[in-house]
C-alpha cells in the first residue's frame, strides 16, 4: 500500500533537494498532472527537480523507504498517459539534467543527460557535422530520456531506425537508489542479457534513465522531397510498396488522409483537391545531390505509372520546408480544433489501405470522426479520434468501445497497439488481448525483479498491486 498520506517522506526530500527544487503547491502541481493526453490528469502530492544523478538516487531511496509512487517525467509530450501520476505520489522531473557530458567526434558518440531537449541536442550535433537521425515531431520540447523510455521514433525511422537503434549504453537509477550502467560505450556488446534494450521502452517502470550514450552518423546535407496526391488509398499503398521493392531507400514516407487534410487546410493557406484520398510525401537525403535527383525521378515515374493525381517536387531547403506544410500542421490543427484521443497503430505496410478503411468504418459504427496520418513507410499510423461535439457520455462510452474495436481489428490484421507512442495507462487494459497472458506474466516478473515494491510509474504496462 502506497503511503502518500504520510508526510515524513516530504520532509526527507526537503533535506535532499535544493529549496526551490521541490514543489507541493496544488496550483503549481497542475502543470505536472499529465502529458499531452488531454483528458487524463492526476495531481501528484509533489514534484521534484533533482540537479544530479546523486540527487536522483537520493530521491528514489527516500521514496523506496516510504513506499511512495515515483513518476519520471521528461518534456510532457507523450500521448499515452505515461507521465500521469495515476496513484499520486511524486513526479520526478529530469529537466535540470540537460547537458552534453561528452561529445566524441572521432568515435562518433555522444553522452548526454536525460533531461536535454532532443531538438537542442540535434542542433548541437549538427554544428559538428553529426546527427542523431530520429527526429520526432515534438523535438522542440520532448527530452532524450522520454524518447528512450517511450521507444520513440519519427519520420526518418524508415531509413535510419528508431532511437533504440542508436543507444550504446544507459545510466539508470533503480527503484532503491542504486545506479547502474546497462552496457558499455562500444558498438558490440555480447556480455549476458541485454539490459539496455530491456530498459528502452519500459516507460520508467524499471528504472529512471539519467544518461545515454548514442552512436552518431554524419549529417546529410542534401535532400529532395516529392509530394503526391492519390484518389484512392489503394493507389497510395501500392506506391509505398513499389518504392521499396524497386530498391529505392527513402528517408521519409509520410501520409495524410482526406480528413486530416481538411483539418490542416485552414492553417496552410493552400488549396487541396477534395477528390484526393491522401497525400504522400517521399523524401531522399544524402551527400550527393545528383544521386538524390535520380532517385526522385525514379519515384516520380513510379507515381505517374500508378496514376498519381497531383505531383510536386522540391530540392531547395525553403521549398522543402514549404512542401512539408500540410504534414507538419496536422498536429497543431487537431489541437486547435477539438479534444482528441491518440491511437498509434503499427502493422505491415502493405495493409495500409485496409487499416485506414477499417478505422473509418469503426468510426461510422460508433459515431466519431478520425484524422489519420503518420509514417506510412514504417506501417505506423497516428489515428486522432476527434471529440468534436460529442457529449461526455458518448466520449466515455461508445468512443472508448470503438477504440477497443480498432485495437482488436488491427491485431487480427497482423498489427499491434503502438508503434512509437508507448503503452502508458491508456493501452495497459488492452495488452493481455494483444500480447497474450504468457508474455504479460513474464513482463510482470521482470517488473518484480527491478521494482519489488511497485513504486516506479505504477499502473503503466503491467498492473501494479496497490
- Confidence band for 463, pLDDT divided at 50, 70 and 90: confident
**What architecture does CATH give domain 8-95?**
2-Layer Sandwich (3.30)
- Confidence band for 177, pLDDT divided at 50, 70 and 90: very high
Cell readout for 79 is 500521448
Contact 157, 379 (CB under 8 A): no
Closest CA to 375 of 81, 160, 222, 105: 160
Domains 100-218 and 338-434 are alike in CATH topology: no
Please determine, looking at this structure, whether the domain spanning 222-329 carries the CATH number 3.30.70.2190: yes
Average pLDDT over residues 227-238: 97
Instruction: State in words which class domain 100-218 has.
Output: alpha beta
Residue 89 burial class via C-beta count within 10 angstroms: exposed 0-12, middle 13-18, buried 19 and up: buried
Q: Which residues pair with 383 in a beta bridge?
A: 343, 372
Q: Output DSSP code: residue 464.
A: P
Strand 46-48, strand 90-93: pairing: parallel
pLDDT at 336: 87
Tell whether the model's pLDDT for residue 466 goes beyond 60.
no
- Confidence band for 465, pLDDT divided at 50, 70 and 90: low
pLDDT at 5: 66
Tell whether the model's pLDDT for residue 1 goes beyond 80.
no
CB atoms within 10 A of CB 438: 8
* Digit-coded pLDDT (tens) for 49-107: 999 999 999 999 999 999 999 999 999 999 899 999 999 999 999 999 999 999 999 99
Closest CA to 295 of 241, 225, 217: 225
So where are the chain's domains?
8-95, 100-218, 222-329, 338-434
Distance, CA of 461 to CA of 443 (rounded, Å): 9
Residue 113 burial class via C-beta count within 10 angstroms: exposed 0-12, middle 13-18, buried 19 and up: buried
- Confidence band for 253, pLDDT divided at 50, 70 and 90: very high
pLDDT at 346: 97
- In CATH terms, 338-434 corresponds, of 3.40.50.2300, 1.10.1040.50, 3.40.50.720, 3.30.70.2740, to 3.30.70.2740
Contact 120, 145 (CB under 8 A): no
pLDDT at 325: 86
Cα torsion 226, 228, 233, 239: sign: negative
pLDDT at 211: 99
Average pLDDT, the chain: 95
Percent of the chain with pLDDT over 90: 86
Amino acid at each position: 500500500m502506497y503511503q502518500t498520506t504520510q508526510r515524513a517522506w516530504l520532509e526527507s526530500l526537503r533535506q535532499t533537494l535544493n529549496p526551490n527544487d521541490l514543489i507541493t503547491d496544488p496550483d503549481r502541481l497542475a502543470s505536472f498532472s499529465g502529458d499531452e493526453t488531454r483528458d487524463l490528469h492526476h495531481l501528484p502530492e509533489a514534484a521534484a527537480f533533482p540537479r544530479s544523478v546523486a540527487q536522483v538516487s537520493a530521491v528514489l531511496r527516500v521514496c523506496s523507504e516510504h513506499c511512495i509512487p515515483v513518476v519520471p517525467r521528461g518534456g510532457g509530450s507523450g500521448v499515452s498517459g505515461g507521465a500521469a501520476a495515476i496513484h499520486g505520489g511524486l513526479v520526478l522531473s529530469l529537466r535540470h539534467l540537460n547537458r552534453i557530458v561528452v561529445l566524441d567526434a572521432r568515435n562518433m558518440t555522444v553522452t548526454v543527460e536525460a533531461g536535454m531537449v532532443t531538438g537542442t541536442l540535434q542542433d548541437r550535433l549538427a554544428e559538428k557535422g553529426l546527427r542523431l537521425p530520429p527526429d520526432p515531431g515534438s523535438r522542440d520540447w520532448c527530452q532524450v530520456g522520454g524518447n528512450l523510455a517511450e521507444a520513440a521514433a519519427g519520420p526518418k525511422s524508415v531509413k535510419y531506425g528508431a532511437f533504440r537503434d542508436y543507444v550504446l549504453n544507459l545510466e539508470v537509477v533503480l527503484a532503491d537508489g542504486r545506479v547502474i550502467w546497462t552496457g558499455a560505450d562500444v558498438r558490440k556488446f555480447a556480455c549476458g542479457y541485454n539490459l539496455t534494450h530491456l530498459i528502452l521502452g519500459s516507460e520508467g517502470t524499471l528504472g529512471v534513465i539519467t544518461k545515454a550514450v548514442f552512436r552518431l552518423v554524419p549529417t546529410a546535407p542534401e535532400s529532395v522531397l516529392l509530394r503526391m496526391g492519390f484518389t484512392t488509398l489503394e493507389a497510395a499503398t501500392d506506391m509505398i510498396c513499389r518504392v521499396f521493392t524497386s530498391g529505392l531507400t527513402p528517408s521519409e514516407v509520410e501520409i495524410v488522409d482526406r480528413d486530416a487534410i481538411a483539418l490542416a487546410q485552414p492553417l496552410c493557406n493552400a488549396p487541396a483537391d477534395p477528390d484526393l484520398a491522401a497525400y504522400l510525401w517521399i523524401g531522399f537525403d544524402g551527400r550527393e545531390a545528383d544521386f538524390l535527383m535520380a532517385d526522385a525521378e525514379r519515384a516520380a515515374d513510379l507515381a505517374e505509372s500508378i496514376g498519381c493525381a497531383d505531383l510536386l517536387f522540391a530540392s531547395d531547403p525553403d521549398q522543402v520546408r514549404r512542401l512539408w506544410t500540410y504534414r507538419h500542421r496536422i498536429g497543431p490543427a487537431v489541437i486547435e480544433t477539438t479534444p482528441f484521443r491518440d491511437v498509434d497503430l503499427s502493422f505491415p505496410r502493405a495493409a495500409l489501405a485496409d487499416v485506414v478503411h477499417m478505422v473509418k468504418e469503426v468510426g461510422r459504427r460508433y459515431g466519431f470522426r478520425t484524422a489519420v496520418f503518420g509514417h506510412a513507410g514504417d506501417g505506423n499510423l497516428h489515428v486522432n479520434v476527434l471529440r468534436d461535439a460529442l457529449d461526455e457520455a458518448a466520449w466515455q462510452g461508445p468512443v472508448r468501445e470503438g477504440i477497443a474495436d480498432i485495437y482488436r481489428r488491427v491485431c487480427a490484421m497482423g498489427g499491434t497497439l503502438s508503434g512509437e507512442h508507448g503503452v502508458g495507462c491508456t493501452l495497459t487494459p488492452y495488452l493481455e488481448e494483444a500480447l497474450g497472458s504468457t508474455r504479460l506474466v513474464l513482463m510482470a516478473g521482470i517488473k518484480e525483479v527491478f521494482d519489488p515494491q511497485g513504486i516506479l510509474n505504477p499502473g503503466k504496462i503491467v498492473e501494479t498491486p496497490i
